[in-house]
Structure 1
Amino acid sequence: MLKTALTPRWLLGLLLVLALASGFVMLSKWQINASTLGQVTADPAKDVVRPYSQVLQPHDPLSMTEADTVVEATGSYVQGSTYLVENKLKDGAEGYWLVSLFVPDDSQQVSTSLGEGPRGIVVARAWTPTAEIPAEPTGTVTIAGRVVGNDAPLTSKDVSEENRGKGRVLASANSSYLTNVWNAALFNGILTLDSESTGATPLTDQGTIAETATLLDSSGALQPIRAQQVTDDTVDWLNIFYALEWLVFAGFALYLWYRLLKDSVEKTTDPTLYFEYEGQYWVDEETGRPYYWDPADQAYYYFDDIQDAPPHLPGRG
């Protein structure tokens, strides 16, 4: 078999099969890479506190590259602006976010159809297990936390008659909706707080918010939200299945070449496995090709080329 495999015809066929199999392997590799394209890993740089103005830009949507970034701002809360946002979980417990309007000290005055005023930030101040709205901190406050994307706009189904009457319960935190609620120009996105202080934000040596950071809450009932970066380590198993398919195709291409080679060799060494005939067969010493005697035609024929048997064979004149 090796002697036949080393002939130019079969070597060329092998090269073509190897090229085809290599293409299938490359497609398999591409499918494997595609299976993890949707994964999102945590970026340590996003945990370092930055000024809010580096992330939140007027009129610009919150991009994927800027979402989950930790920022800080100094300014003041608009008194009486807080709403509850229902169905918010913390450590498995269901509760509310306290969402307030915060105006940075360096915010520029803007004129919109809603009127003229400074552009504000939607701040999710804290998580609370009860549907109670405490007063916002007064005076100048420095806040720090992670900027997250808007919730999908939903309608509240809160069953509390007390809160429904006050109209202070929302189903989602969405800056586009709160623009109309507060009649104020807002930056896109929600700033979820880890820290609220009258001085500097407590930071670690790496520039991240220290775990000792707290909120300005005299009652002690409010809990920092401490939002984490959104990550996704799932694998698309459909792509994995396709990758395995391409490997099977590559293996089949190599097997097909081997099977054709084996059949060719067996046709030479034992042609009776592949042809129906009557009589005996012999092997031509010069060419190594098997031939047989056809009693019906009273002539000799090669098995692989019955139309072109050489004249030196017996019975071929």
Structure 2
Amino acid sequence: MYRFLLTPRWWGINVFVVLAIPFCLFMGTWQLGKFEERVDTHKEAEREPSPDERGTVPLEELLPVDKKTSGRPAEATGVYGEQFRVPDRSVKGERGDYVLTLLRTDGGKTLPVVRGWVAQGAPAPAPPAGEVTVTGWLQASENMGTDGVHTAGGLPAGQLGMISAASLVNLVPDDVYDAWITLTEADGSMGAVPAAVAEGNGLDMKAFQNLGYTGEWFVFAAFVLFMWFRLVRREAEAIRDRELGLEPESV
């Protein structure tokens, strides 16, 4: 009765099932592995001392920025230079601008420093003159997927849509660090800008997306197998009905 499984049409169906089920299982296992990796990273981060418990170290000792150094307190010495506003950024639920000032460090490279946050339209205080030593939370350069980044073009002069070396490379003559810091204590009357959590360093929405995708791929595998059994059963029943003469007459 099941010799129909060897027909060309069913060969195509069988090959699809044989390939689809392992593929779905592989993708589900891969997504589960990514979720477990994020859980392990979260547990490891919880065992690490909090940034407040760590001492301030020179900036160079924390570079390049990674999951372990992001958020660490860093110290740099230099002279403030050009200043920019980073518009449409939220702090404590209020919209405003980051005040970003470039610090030309003793090593000759330029470090973007977010000195604080001001309400939209409020004036940004000028940076201190002369050599200064700043302390702030180390942050990785932003990218197009970072929350709050202004992706549309046409910003006025003196504004930046994204805090990164790439966005500053054509605005300053010096080399720019592929990192930035936000001061632990904002200058003047500005509000402090809290440090952002490093991407992939905890049980964020991406971790639970991995878990959800795991379930979806396993469901797909089960669905393919279910549909194959259902099609086989219907074909076998149709053949049996024809053999018994139960097939309805065609009009």
* TM-score (norm. length: structure 2): 0.58
Cα deviation for residue 139 of structure 1 reads: 2.5
1:289-308 correspondence to structure 2 within 5 Å: none
- Larger relative contact order, structure 1 or 2 (CA cutoff 8 Å, min sep 6): 2
Output the CA distance in 2 between the equivalents of 1:83 and 1:144: 19
Letter in 1 for 2:133: T
Output the CA distance in 2 between the equivalents of 1:54 and 1:66: 9
1:169-188 correspondence to structure 2 within 5 Å: 169-188=159-178
Runs of 4+ in 1 over 4 A off after TM superposition: 27-33, 155-158, 241-246
Cα deviation for residue 152 of structure 1 reads: 2.9
**SS of 1:152's equivalent?**
coil
**SS of 1:121's equivalent?**
strand
Question: Does 1:134 pair with 2:125?
Answer: yes
Cα deviation for residue 125 of structure 1 reads: 1.3
User: Does the C-alpha gap of structure 1 residues 28 and 232 become closer, same or farther in structure 2, counting only changes over 3 Å?
Assistant: closer
Structure 2 residue aligned with 1:193 = 183
Check whether the contact 1:28–1:244 (CA below 8 A) recurs between aligned residues: no
Structure having the higher helix fraction is: 2
Indicate the percent of aligned positions where both proteins have the same amino acid: 18
**SS of 1:176's equivalent?**
helix
Return the index of the structure with the highest Cα Rg: 1
Structure 1 residue aligned with 2:88 = 87
Check whether the contact 1:46–1:70 (CA below 8 A) recurs between aligned residues: no
Unaligned ranges ≥5, structure 1: 1-26, 108-117, 159-163, 195-213, 249-317
User: Does the C-alpha gap of structure 1 residues 185 and 30 become closer, same or farther in structure 2, counting only changes over 3 Å?
Assistant: closer
Structure 2 residue aligned with 1:9 = none
Structure 2 residue aligned with 1:229 = 197
Output the CA distance in 1 between the equivalents of 2:97 and 2:28: 47
Structure 1 residue aligned with 2:214 = 239
Output the CA distance in 1 between the equivalents of 2:63 and 2:31: 37
Letter in 2 for 1:215: A
User: Does the C-alpha gap of structure 1 residues 92 and 76 become closer, same or farther in structure 2, counting only changes over 3 Å?
Assistant: same
1:75-114 correspondence to structure 2 within 5 Å: 75-78=78-81, 81-105=82-106, 107=107
Check whether the contact 1:126–1:193 (CA below 8 A) recurs between aligned residues: yes
The counterpart of 1:70, out of the listed 70, 73, 82, is 73
User: Does the C-alpha gap of structure 1 residues 145 and 243 become closer, same or farther in structure 2, counting only changes over 3 Å?
Assistant: farther
Structure 1 residue aligned with 2:138 = 147
Structure 2 residue aligned with 1:290 = none
Cα deviation for residue 82 of structure 1 reads: 0.5
Cα deviation for residue 63 of structure 1 reads: 3.8
Check whether the contact 2:115–2:187 (CA below 8 A) recurs between aligned residues: no
The counterpart of 1:216, out of the listed 187, 207, 230, is 187
Check whether the contact 2:71–2:139 (CA below 8 A) recurs between aligned residues: yes
Letter in 2 for 1:119: K
Check whether the contact 2:186–2:192 (CA below 8 A) recurs between aligned residues: yes
Letter in 1 for 2:171: V
User: Does the C-alpha gap of structure 1 residues 71 and 45 become closer, same or farther in structure 2, counting only changes over 3 Å?
Assistant: farther
Structure 2 residue aligned with 1:37 = 37
User: Does the C-alpha gap of structure 1 residues 188 and 32 become closer, same or farther in structure 2, counting only changes over 3 Å?
Assistant: closer
**SS of 1:145's equivalent?**
strand
Cα deviation for residue 66 of structure 1 reads: 3.4
